[in-house]
Amino acid sequence: MDKNTFTGLFLILVILVASTFLLKPNQEEIKRKAEQDSIAVAKEHPESQKKVAKKTAASITSVITAEKDSSAVPTGIIKEKLYTLENQYIKISISNIGARIASVELREETTYQGKPVILFNDDNTHFGLVYKSNGKEVNTSSLAFNLVSQDEHQIVMRMLNPDGSFVNYAYSLNPNSHKVDFKMEVQGFQNKINTKNITLDWETKLLQQERDLNNERMYSTTYYNTVDDGVDYLSEAKDEQKVLDKSKVKWVAFKQHFFSGVIISNEGFDKADVKIETLADKSAVKAYGAKMSLPFKNQDTNTYNLQFYFGSNKFSQLKDQGDELEQMVKMGWGPLKWINRYLVLPIFNFFQNMNLGYGLIILLLTIILKSVLFPFTYKSYLSMAKMRVLKPEMEEIKKRVGEENQALVQQEYLKLYKQAGVNPLGGCLPMVFQMPFILAFFYFFPNLFELRHQSFLWMHDLSTYDDFFKLGFTLPFIGNHISLMCVLMTISTLIYTYFNNQVSGAQGQMKYIGYITPIIFFGVLNSYPSGLNYYYFCANILTFSQQFLIRKFVDDDKIHAQIQENKKKPDSKKKQGGFQKKLEDMMRQQQQQQKK
C-alpha cells in the first residue's frame, strides 16, 4: 500500500464521516416531514382524524354498560379512575377505561434531572383487545371496566356486555419482582367471534430519561423474540414496521436506552405486527406499537396467561427474567459480542462485586486488556523498528530504479524483505488482531447500565458526555459543549501518533495523516459517554508507556546487525510467508506484463 492508496482510502473515510453528519436532517426538517405525512394521511383517509378524536374523548369519559348488581345492567357515563399496585421496585397505575396499565414508575431509578423514572403515562398509552363480534369491530381500550376485586397484590377488572359475555383482566404483582402477571379471560363469546384469532393492541410513547435525547434515541427500538429466528429488533436509525408471522412470537419489548417494557406470552403469540417511529416531540424518545394475535377457540372460556416486565436493561437483571431478555443489551456483532459477553463482562462483574469505583474498574479492565495484548504490541513495535532500519536501503532502491516504475520498486522491496528476513506486514497483523477488542469496548460502555449516574473525577455521569465547557451555541460535528475527557483522549492520541511516527519512520503525507484522524474522531466522540472516552484515554496512556519501555530494550544497532546476518543466509533457509510469496509472484507477473 503506497501513500497514494492510503491517501485515497483516508479521504473516503473522511467523506463517509462528513456525509453522515452533514446530510442528517435536523429536528425542524423531521418535524416538517412529520407534519407533511400527517396532512397526506388525513387527505387520503379523512375518517382517521375522526377516529383519533373519538379515541381522545374516550380517554376522559366512556359510555359503558355497568354491572351494578346481578340483576340490572344499566347504561351510564363514568369518569376515569386509576387503581394502583406497587412493590419495592415498581408502581403501576391501572385505568378503569380499557383496564390498561396507564403508567409505570420505576421506584429505585431517577431521570438525569433526579425525578422518578416514568416509562410511559396515561395520555400516550393505548392497550386493548380487538375482535369482531356480530360483524362489528370492538376495541376494549375505549370501554370501561368495573373493579371486581382488589388487594395488596392483585387487581381484577371486568367488562360486561348486556348479553352476559365479559372480558376479565387480572393483574398480579409479586412483592420482589419487576414482573406483572397478566391473566385474561374471554367468556361467553362462542359463536359471536367468527375468527380464529383476537388481537392484543399495545401502543405507547416512552418518555425521555437520559440527558442526551438524540443519543437515547440511537439505542431505542422494538425488540422481539420468535421461535425460529430468536431475538431480533427493528431499525434504531429509521422508522420501520414488520409483520412477524413465520413462527410464534415469545415476547415483544419496547426498549429505550436503559429501560424497557416487555410483554411475554407463555404459549406464544401466533403473529405480531410491530413498529417503531421517531417523533418530533422532544419529551418522548420514540413511539412504539405492537398488534399481537392470540388464538381464539369457539368455546365458552378462553384464558390467556401473559406477563409484563418493567425495569432496567441491566444485563444481569434481564438474564434473571429468562426468555433471553438479556439479548436486548447490544454487545456488538459477531466476535465483538462474544468478547464482551464472555470475557469483558465477567471481569467487570468481578471487580464490581469488590465494591470498587467504576473509574478504577475501567482502568483495571484496560490494564488487563493491554497486558494480554502486550506480546502483539511488542511484535508490532519490533516489526516497525526493522522497517525503520531498512529505510535507508529502501530509499536507495527507489533512487536506483526510479519512482515512476512502482511495480519494479515494489518487487525490489520484496527482495530486500526476503534477504533481511523481514515481514512487511509484521507491524499490521498484530494491530488487526487487537482491533476486535478495541471495537468491542465501543459497544460495551455505551450500553452498560451500571455506569448510569456513576461519577468519577469531574464526570458526574459516566454513561453520558461531560460538558466541562458549555459553548452556549451549537457547532457542526461538535454540538453545544466540549467534553474534557474527549479532549484529553484526543491529545493523548496525538502524542501517541507522534511517538509512533518516530518508531515507524513515517515521512511526508503519511506522517501528517495520522494527526488528522484523531481530530475527526474528536467530533464523533465528543457526545459519546465519558466512560468510553476515559477508556480510550487510559488505553492510549498504557500503550504509550508500553512502547516507551520496549524502546528502552530494543537496540536499532542490534536489529541492523541481525538483518545483515540474515542477508548472508542462503535463500533456502529463509522463511517466507504464504502471503509474501503470493505478493512476490504477483509483482513478478505484473513486471512481465509491463515488459511485453
Q: What is the CATH number of the domain that holds 135?
A: 2.70.98.90
Contact between residue 126 and residue 141 where contact means Cβ atoms under 8 Å apart? yes
Comparison of pLDDT for 68 and 20, the residue scoring more: 20
Q: Give the amino acid at 337.
A: K
pLDDT exceeds 70 at position 428: no
The answer to which of 84-98, 132-146, 555-569 has the lowest mean pLDDT is 555-569
| Residues 143 and 281 grouped into a single domain | yes
- Whether 114 and 254 share a structural domain: yes
Residue ending a domain, choose from 304, 329, 354:
329
pLDDT score recorded for residue 504: 58
Do 377 and 500 belong together in one domain? yes
> Which of these ranges, 112-121, 232-241, 284-293, 492-501, has the smallest mean pLDDT?
492-501
Residue that terminates a domain, selected from 329, 359, 374? 329
Q: Are residues 495 and 350 in the same domain?
A: yes
Within a domain: 224: yes
C-alpha cell at 177: 419482582
Q: How confident is the model at residue 277 (pLDDT cuts 50, 70, 90)?
A: very high
- Tell me the whole-structure pTM to 2 decimals: 0.75
Is 40 within the bounds of a domain?
no
Judge if 346 and 321 occupy the same domain: no
Under the banding of pLDDT at 50, 70 and 90, the label for residue 62 is very low
Q: Are 551 and 485 in contact (CB under 8 A)?
A: no
Query: Can you tell me the mean pLDDT for 503-523?
Result: 71
Residues in contact with 451: Cβ distance below 8 Å, sequence separation at least 6, in sequence order = 358, 445, 461, 462, 463, 529, 531
- 245 and 381 fall within a common domain: no
Mean of pLDDT values over 385-399: 76
Between 425 and 491, whose confidence is greater? 491
Name the grid cell of 236: 434504531
- Summarised one tens digit per residue, pLDDT across range 343-380 is 999 999 999 999 899 999 999 999 998 888 888 878 77
Element (H, E) at 179: strand 179-187
Residue 242 lies in a domain: yes
**Confidence at residue 85, expressed as pLDDT on a 0 to 100 scale:** 94
Radius of gyration of the chain (CA): 32
Grid cell listed for 443: 459497544
Domain assignment present for 577 = no
Check whether residue 157 and residue 140 sit in a common domain.
yes
Res 288 pLDDT > 90: yes
What is the domain range of residue 531? 337-389+432-569
Residue 511 burial by CB count (10 A; 0-12/13-18/19+): exposed, middle or buried?
middle
The torsion angle over the Cα atoms of residues 22, 26, 29 and 34, rounded to 10 degrees, is 120
Q: What is the pLDDT of residue 398?
A: 75
Instruction: Average the pLDDT over 509-531 and give the result.
Output: 81
Q: What's the domain count of the chain? A: 2
| Tens digits of residue pLDDT in 138-156 | 899 889 999 999 998 999 9
Rounded Cα distance, 417 and 402, in Å: 19
Q: Are residues 307 and 447 in the same domain?
A: no
Residue 374 and residue 313 share a domain: no
Q: Residue 168: which of 145, 139, 194 has the closest Cα?
A: 145
Same domain, 245 and 153: yes
The verdict on residue 147 lying in a domain is yes
Q: SS3 sequence, 235-260?
A: CCCCCEEEEECCCCEEEEEEECCCEE
**What is the band of 194 on the pLDDT scale with cuts at 50, 70, 90?**
confident
CB 211 within 8 A of CB 112: yes
Confidence of residue 282 (pLDDT cuts 50, 70, 90): confident
Please report the DSSP string for 53-108 in residue order.
HHHHHHTTEEEEE---SSS---EEEEE--EEEEE-SSEEEEEESBTT-EEEEEEEE
Q: Are residues 301 and 160 in the same domain?
A: yes
Quick check: is 28 in a domain?
Answer: no
| Whole-number pLDDT of residue 510 | 62
Q: Within a domain: residue 99?
A: yes
| Tally of CA atoms within 13 A in the half-sphere of 245 that contains its CB | 6
Q: 246 and 184, same structural domain? A: yes
Identify the pLDDT of residue 76.
39
Q: Does the residue 507 lie in any domain?
A: yes
Residue-level pLDDT at 239: 92
Give the pLDDT band (50/70/90) at residue 579: low
pLDDT above 70 covers a percentage of the chain that reads: 77
